[in-house]
Amino acid sequence: MEKKIELALIYGSTRKGRFCDTVAAWAAEEIERSGKFTIDVIDPAVVLPADQGATPTLWQRVAAAQAFVVVTPEYNHGYPAPLKSLIDSVGKEWHGKPVAFVSYGGISGGLRAVEQLRLVFAELHTVTIRDAVSFAGAWELFDAQGKLLAPERPRRSMATMLKQLEWWAQALRVARGSAPYATAA
């Protein structure tokens, strides 16, 4: 049996009453359903201690992850500042790892935020997954219990994205294991 991929599921919003909890819970269920990943939830709304004994710090959690799924809203045609702060709090621990996106928002479904995040993650030497999951008008797509009203299409999109993420995570795990990732000095 192949070892599961250690995946960090990163929340993009810290707003009170945020819808991110609903979308991230759905994403976590789909990730678990795949059976290919273990999940570490990284939420910028939770204070991440610099060091409290056995509690891993943010950089340790990013370093331990072999792949990432970022769940982000789109605020004012961009991604939230707390997400950028979280990303910028870590450096080389991102290098040589794949990042996938689940976005939500109004008419664009968060795709403008994702396009901006692709630029940020390219600078961090990650590989972003082409296919993403996007929820336009997200608030109308989920019921009061957080279940999708029509789950078929998002599930297919998520399955495609997770297959690509798994492939890249495995390939990059082998590559990182055979030689350290190199950047220009």
The CATH label, of 3.40.50.10480, 3.40.50.360, 3.20.20.70, 3.40.190.10, for the domain at 5-178 is 3.40.50.360
pLDDT one-digit tens code per residue, 107-166: 999 999 999 999 999 999 999 999 999 999 999 999 999 999 999 999 999 999 999 999
**84 vs 121: CA distance, rounded Å:** 10
Q: How many CB atoms lie within 10 A of CB 92?
A: 13
- Predicted pLDDT of residue 52: 52
- Predicted pLDDT of residue 40: 97
The stretch 165-178 carries a mean pLDDT of 95
The stretch 25-34 carries a mean pLDDT of 97
Q: Where exactly are the structural domains of the chain? A: 5-178
Distances (CA, A) of 158 to 39, 71, 148, 163: 15, 12, 13, 9
**pTM for the full model?**
0.93
The stretch 51-80 carries a mean pLDDT of 88
How high is the mean pLDDT of the chain? Answer: 93
What is the total residue count of the chain?
A: 185
